[in-house]
Amino acid sequence: MPILTSEKLPKYRRHRASGQAVVTLAGRDHYLGPHGTKASKLEYDRLIAQWLANGRTLTTPGDDLTIVEVLARFRRFAVGHYRRSGRATRSLGNIDDAIRPVKLLFGRERVLDFGPLKLKAVQAAMVEAGLSRGVVNRRISIVKRVFKWTVSEELAPPSLAHALASVSGLQRG
């Protein structure tokens, strides 16, 4: 039995019945056009590049991603990004602390349904947990950064990041 490695790319192959080029990503066939044409090979390259850039997952418009799924993707990104000298930095712990209330309160909801009022509810939950104003403001800024990253990865519309940026931090008193 062959050993499958994560380094191999999905094959560009011919679909016999239709004569189309096809590639299977995440268990779904993507038809690329007539097999052997330059256009189908360019489409294959584009799909593979997008698939690799998204961490070997392929998102399609209209995906109903939940907040938990987006937070998991951001966490995978953060593990690779927040490193110094090959070791994870303290930022990972801060990120985990910041996203925990978001996950608990709204984890099963769609990302598209998250907005300023829900972010304010997360902020209020942090205050009720007895956190200081400075800690709450830092954690809310991390949550905003997570959703800004989500927009940059085209997992949510740009309006989401703009809406969340309108939430101001806690004021003194």
Whole-number pLDDT of residue 61: 44
Shared domain check, 75 and 131: yes
Domain tally, the chain: 2
> Is the domain of 136 the same as that of 158?
yes
Shared-domain flag, residues 27 and 97: no
Phi, then psi, of 22 in degrees rounded to 5: -145, 150
Contact assessment for residue 65 and residue 111, using Cβ atoms and an 8 Å cutoff: yes
Let me know whether 77 and 104 are in one domain.
yes
Give me 3's structure tokens: 């050993």
Q: Which residues of the chain have pLDDT under 70?
A: 1-6, 58-63
* Segments forming the whole domain that contains residue 27: 13-53
20 plus 75 within the same structural domain: no
| Integer angstrom CA distances of residue 166 from 27, 78, 124, 163 | 40, 24, 16, 5
Cα atoms in the 13 Å half-sphere on the side-chain side of 136: 21
Asked if 48 and 119 sit in the same domain, the reply is no
**Predicted TM-score (pTM) above 0.85:** no
* CATH number of the structural domain spanning residue 139: 1.10.150
End-to-end Cα distance, the chain: 67
What pLDDT does 59 receive? 60
